[in-house]
Amino acid sequence: MTNLLLLQALNGLQFGVLLFLVAAGLTLVFGIMDFINLAHGVLYMVGAYLVATFAGLTGSFWLGIVIALPVALVFGLLLEVLIFRRLYDRSHLDQVLATFGLIMIVNEGVKIIWGAAPLSVPMPDLLSGSVPLVGMMQYPVYRIAIIAAGLLTALGLYLMIGHTRIGMLLRAGASNGKMVSALGVNIRRLFMIVFGFGAMLAGFAGAMIAPILSVDPGMGESVLILTFVVIVIGGIGSIRGAFIAAILVGLVDTLGRTFGPILLRMVLDPSAASQTGRTLAPMLIYILMAAILFFRPAGLFGRKS
């Protein structure tokens, strides 16, 4: 039982850091420019497809990632220049409509280029084994690598945002974009940097997860909704909030699916418990979100508007 708990906690942590990588860019975009980008999930998907392609071409997962990241960055910047910068001054609804259209374009574009069938990315040999955890239990090295990469990125972001000049501008921009702009900072350029960087982080998350998940045209959408849940729970614009919320959502979702039915069996008969467990497990994070917003309408680290 303790082993299972540890195993699932690690899986939850891995899921959480992945969500954080996608959420970090989205929450800054949202916080600084007040821009609802439904298309953020496609950047994650594009990252996965790019690594699948470049790893296939070069025969090396590592080279694949090294090439995929700048390409994801360029793709993000291209979207910013072509579409997004025309939408900052528009209403949230216009942004929803345009980015919804963009999802359709990119999803269909991916199907045209790579086909609708899922692709698989071979795991790099270096990370393909497992390590003993406690006693008899083994844990895949690759998942540990994802956790490590995610935590390192989070640490890097923390240092950048807390201790550099650009980080200071980001924090100020997320709190009060108009004021920062009035102080003579080119907030549009700042935003372009953030947007490109956020696209790259989301692409990185997609690239990292590609070897343990099949790469398919719908993968961006499932992660998008979870990412929104994360940034809303954390409080829009707050990187710290996004990190805590991402880990929380990852753990609650993973542990809920495993231990929900076990806990329910203590109060219900087995068949009712498994039925109820199956019903409740996917709803858990949404229940969590509704509960948190009920008590803190602007999220855990959000500012009251």
Is residue 43 a contact residue for another protein (CB under 8 A)? Answer: no
Residue that has been written with the tokens 């803190």 in this structure: 296
Cα–Cα distances (Å) from 210 to 122, 205, 289, in that order, read 9, 9, 27
In one-letter notation, the amino acid at residue 118 is: P
CB of 75 to another protein, least distance (A): 16
Closer of 78 and 94 to another protein (Cβ)? 94
Closer of 144 and 280 to another protein (Cβ)? 280
Closer of 47 and 299 to another protein (Cβ)? 299
Compute how many residues bind another protein; rule: CB under 8 A.
Answer: 47
Selected binder of another protein within 57, 66, 100, 134 (CB under 8 A): 100
Residue that has been written with the tokens 């829009």 in this structure: 236
User: By the 8 A CB rule, do 23 and 247 touch?
Assistant: no
- Residue 185 phi, psi dihedral angles, 5° rounding: -90, 135
Cα–Cα distances (Å) from 102 to 35, 39, 85, 86, 236, in that order, read 14, 6, 14, 14, 22
CB of 279 to another protein, least distance (A): 4
CB of 91 to another protein, least distance (A): 9
Q: Is 68 helix (H, G, I), strand (E, B) or coil?
A: helix
Is residue 23 a contact residue for another protein (CB under 8 A)? Answer: no
Closer of 112 and 266 to another protein (Cβ)? 112
The residue length of the chain stands at 305
Q: Which residues bind another protein (CB under 8 A)?
A: 30, 36, 38, 83, 86-87, 90, 92-94, 96-98, 100-109, 111-112, 221, 225, 228-229, 232, 236, 275, 278-279, 282-283, 286-287, 289-290, 293-294, 297-299, 302, 305
